[in-house]
Amino acid sequence: MPFLYFARHGQTIWNAENKICGSTDIDLTELGHKQAIELGKKIKSDNLKIDEILCSPLRRAADTAKHIHEQTGIPLTVEPSLTEQSFGKYESTPRDNPDFFAARERFIDSYDGGETMLHLAQRIYNLLDRLKATDKTFLLVAHGGIARVVHSYFYDMTNEEYGMFKLGNCEILKYEFTD
């Protein structure tokens, strides 16, 4: 069975300021660009067998994926379904806002104009089911919220584990599709 790799984008200014990015299109910082280049170099030096990179269309993930592509030569495709969840009224607010944490525990909450966790999970699970049906190994380059859903596709998680799951900037995880 093929593998799936997942990498979160490099640092943004809102990451550095501990703000919620969501679907707001934020650029990478200088450090974020360096992190992405280093991740590309690591993928190449580790000789990871990846057939294709799929990335979110948001600049922070797309630029990260472009740096990886430049370092590795792996073909790159923008995948709209990897766009980060819209957190509605919470975007640009502090990440440690207790109201935001409470809202995240309600999987059908749309954050006053955002996207529910259930809709997000449907979107990502549908993508993963399509990828599983191929014989390719993909690297997904996307966002923290997407990472959480991808992880839940491969592992059982409690609501608390799901809510607390975090992936660092340019951190990469490997998953194996099974029957």
Residue (of 1, 2, 3) closest to 174 by Cα position: 3
- What is the per-residue pLDDT for 160? 84
When pLDDT is cut at 50, 70 and 90, the band that residue 1 belongs to is: low
Count the Cβ atoms, other than its own, within 10 Å of residue 74.
Answer: 21
Residue (of 59, 83, 73, 72) closest to 140 by Cα position: 83
Backbone angles phi, psi at 154, to 5 degrees: -95, -25
Write out pLDDT tens, residues 43-102: 999 999 999 999 999 999 999 999 999 999 999 999 999 999 999 999 999 988 888 878
Q: Looking at the whole model, is its pTM more than 0.85?
A: yes
User: Does the annotation mark 69 as catalytic?
Assistant: no
Which one from 79, 84, 91, 115 is the annotated catalytic residue?
84
Which one from 9, 79, 91, 115 is the annotated catalytic residue?
9
Name the strands in the sheet holding 3-8, side by side, starting at the edge strand that comes first in the sequence.
Answer: 76-78, 52-55, 138-142, 3-8, 172-176
User: Does the annotation mark 84 as catalytic?
Assistant: yes
What is the DSSP secondary-structure string of 19-66?
Answer: B--TTS---B-HHHHHHHHHHHHHHHHTT---SEEEE-SSHHHHHHHH
Please report how many Cα atoms fall inside a 13 Å half-sphere around the Cα of residue 124, on the Cβ side: 29
